[in-house]
Amino acid sequence: MYNPKTGKGMGQYYDKNHRAFKKREWKGFKDTFYEFGRWLKLYGYMAYKLGRHPILMVKAMLRYRWMISYLTAGNTIDKHTIGLYGKELRYTHEYFFTVVKNSIDNVLMFLERDKNLRPKSKKAAKLRETTVMFDEMIPKFIMAGFPTLQWMDIAMMTVGMPSEIDQFSNPTYIDTIEKFGLAADICPFPATEVGVAVANDYPIVGKTFITSTMPCDGSIGEISFMARLLKDIPKFQISPPQRFLEDEVQEYAVKNLKNAIKFIEDNYNVKWDWDAFWEKSEMFNQMSQCMLNKWDVNCTDYPQVCNGAMALYREYEFMGAGCLDPNFLKTDLKVDAMMKKGYEEDKKNDANKPKYRAIVWACPAHYYTQFSYWTTHCWGVKAMVDMECMLAHHFIHIGDKEKAMVDLAILYEKMMMRSHTNGGYVNSLDECWRMCEKFNANIVIMYDHVSCKNVGGLHGMFEDQARERGIHLIWVPHDLMDARTVSKREMREAFNKYMINVFREEPLDPTLVDYEDDLAW
C-alpha cells in the first residue's frame, strides 16, 4: 500500500533491469506467512510431478522454446497477488494454484506421450493411441462421454498458457512466420500458432486432432497450416454456428457434434458413454452455478472475487481444463463458501466498497493479464465482471439425451471469442450494455486489440452508444500477444490520461502511475 509519509508504494517492486520483482512485498506476518506456504505448495507439487522425469524435462526444454516459460509460474502468481490482502488474497491463490496444478499435470502427460521426445518408446506410442489432441479455441467437454480416452490441448500448452505467464514467449514465433511473408497486421494469436507449426514446435501426443472454425481471417489461415503440419493424423473440425441465438441453427449444431462423436468412436473403437457424460454434466452444472454465484455477489455493493481471479480462472476452467477436472469443482465450492462468508462480513461492517465499478470487455492482452489489478491499485477502478469469464454459464439437462445434445451444442457456441468478440453485433455490443446495467457499472475497460478487425468494425458504435448511456468507455490499446507493438507502459498511459483528464482523479498510489516494466515477465 502507498505510504504518503515515505512516498513508497507498489511501484517500488518493479525494476527496469529485472524480469521478476525487485523484492517481495511485506503484507504483515499472517498474509506473508500464508504466501510463503503457498509458494512451497506450488514448487513442491512441481517437484513431485515433474521430478519423476528429469531427463525428459531437460530434453523438452532443449527441444521446445515455449517450455522455458513454465519456469516463471511462481512469478505469474506473484504478479496477480501483489497488493492483495486477507480474503481477496486467498481467493486468488486458491484459483491460480488450481490452474497451475492442472497445467503441471498436462506437462507430465505431454512428457509421457510426445513423439518428438520419445520416438522409439512403445509406452509413449501406446498412450498416444488413446489420446485425442485439441486446438485451443475449442471446448473439450465432448470428452465427458469418453472416459477411457485422454485428451490434450496442444495449442493451449504451446501458445495460450506461455503467453499469459511470459510476455516474451510468443514474439519469436511471430517473427518466424512473418519471415515467410505473413502480413504484420494479422492477429498475433493465429500468427503465433502458425509460427509454432512452421518451427515444428507442437508436441505430437495423440492419434487424432480436433479443431474449430473461428470467424476471423487469421484463424482460418492457422487451421490450414495445422492441417499441413498434422497431415498424417485424422482431423475433425467442430463448427459451431455463429448466430446461435436463433433456434433454427441448433439442428445443424447438434448434427455437427454427433459427427464429431462418431469421428472419435470410429478412430478409437469406443462408444459414447451416457453414464459418464451425466456424471461430468453434474460437475459442469455445479461449476456453472458457482460462476453465477460470483456474479450475483458482484452485483451488490460488496463484490468479492473480481479482476483476473474471476476471468482467468473461468477461462482456463472451461477452455483449458474443459470443466472435466474435479479439482476445479473442489476449488469452486471452497471459494464459493469463502466468498459468501466474506460478503456477509463486508455487508455487516459496510466495508470494502469499490471506489469505481467497471466491467472488462473485448479481447484482453495476454501479456498483461494483471491489468485490472493495476487499475484497482492505482485508481480504485475494480472489475465486477470480465467478458472472458462469460463462457457457457448455462446448465445441461441431466437424463434427457435430446435436450442434453442441444445443451452441449450451446456450450460450444458460447465458447471464448465466438460468443462475444467474434459473435456478431448483438453478442458483442448489446451484451456489453446489459452487463453494465446488471453490475451497476458506469466504466467499461475496453480492450482495443489493434490487430482485431472484428471489434475494430464496431468501434464507432461502441463510442456512440456509450455516450448515449452516460458510460465511460476507456479504450486500452494492445496487440494481444506481442508487447512490442503496444507495451504494458503504453496501456497504462492510455488509462492514466482518461482518469486524469476526464475524471479529474488523483491516483491512490502515485508510484504506480509511471514505472518501467518492459523486461518483466
| CA distance linking residue 268 with residue 60, whole number of Å | 28
Asked whether the predicted pLDDT for residue 423 surpasses 70, the reply is no
DSSP H or E stretch at residue 152? strand 150-153
**What pLDDT shows up at residue 214?**
66
Going by pLDDT thresholds of 50, 70 and 90, the confidence category of residue 219 is low
Asked whether the predicted pLDDT for residue 424 surpasses 70, the reply is no
The side-by-side arrangement of strands in the sheet containing 443-449 is 381-386, 356-361, 443-449, 472-478
How confident is the model over 339-368, as a mean pLDDT?
A: 95
Q: Which of 43-57, 212-226, 456-470 has the lowest mean pLDDT?
A: 212-226
How confident is the model over 167-189, as a mean pLDDT?
A: 88
Going by pLDDT thresholds of 50, 70 and 90, the confidence category of residue 217 is low
The three grid cell numbers given for residue 357, joined into one nine-digit string? 465499478
The three grid cell numbers given for residue 248, joined into one nine-digit string? 433454427
| CA distance linking residue 282 with residue 286, whole number of Å | 6
Asked whether the predicted pLDDT for residue 226 surpasses 90, the reply is no
Asked whether the predicted pLDDT for residue 225 surpasses 80, the reply is no
CA-nearest of 212, 160, 241 to 414 is: 241
* Intra-chain end-to-end CA distance of the chain, in Å: 22
For residue 29, the Cα-to-chain-centroid distance in whole angstroms is: 32
The three grid cell numbers given for residue 342, joined into one nine-digit string? 466474506
Whether the CB-CB separation of 135 and 233 falls below 8 Å is answered with no
Q: What average pLDDT is seen over the chain?
A: 92
Q: Which of 4-13, 185-194, 282-291, 450-459 has the lowest mean pLDDT?
A: 450-459
Q: Which of 55-69, 102-116, 395-409, 453-467 has the lowest mean pLDDT?
A: 453-467
DSSP H or E stretch at residue 477? strand 472-478
Task: Evaluate if pTM is beyond 0.85.
Answer: yes
Asked whether the predicted pLDDT for residue 215 surpasses 70, the reply is no
List of E strands, 260-392: 356-361, 381-386
Going by pLDDT thresholds of 50, 70 and 90, the confidence category of residue 377 is very high
| Residue that the C-alpha cell 455463429 belongs to | 242
CB within 8 A of 356, min separation 6: which ones? Answer: 379, 380, 381, 382, 443
Asked whether the predicted pLDDT for residue 455 surpasses 80, the reply is no
HSE-up of 230 (CA within 13 Å, CB side)? 28
| CA distance linking residue 279 with residue 106, whole number of Å | 22
In percent, how much of the chain has pLDDT > 70?
A: 97
**What pLDDT shows up at residue 154?**
94
Higher pLDDT, 305 or 6: 305
Amino acid at 35: E
Asked whether the predicted pLDDT for residue 391 surpasses 90, the reply is no
The three grid cell numbers given for residue 500, joined into one nine-digit string? 486524469
Asked whether the predicted pLDDT for residue 10 surpasses 80, the reply is yes
350: left (phi over 0), alpha (psi -120 to 50) or beta: left
Going by pLDDT thresholds of 50, 70 and 90, the confidence category of residue 223 is confident
**What pLDDT shows up at residue 114?**
97
Asked whether the predicted pLDDT for residue 427 surpasses 90, the reply is no
CA-nearest of 38, 143, 145, 21 to 100 is: 38
CA-nearest of 492, 518, 486, 491 to 16 is: 518
Q: Which of 33-42, 370-379, 412-421 has the lowest mean pLDDT?
A: 412-421
Whether the CB-CB separation of 506 and 475 falls below 8 Å is answered with no
The three grid cell numbers given for residue 337, joined into one nine-digit string? 463458501
Asked whether the predicted pLDDT for residue 191 surpasses 70, the reply is yes
* Burial (Cβ within 10 Å: 0-12, 13-18, ≥19) of residue 123: exposed
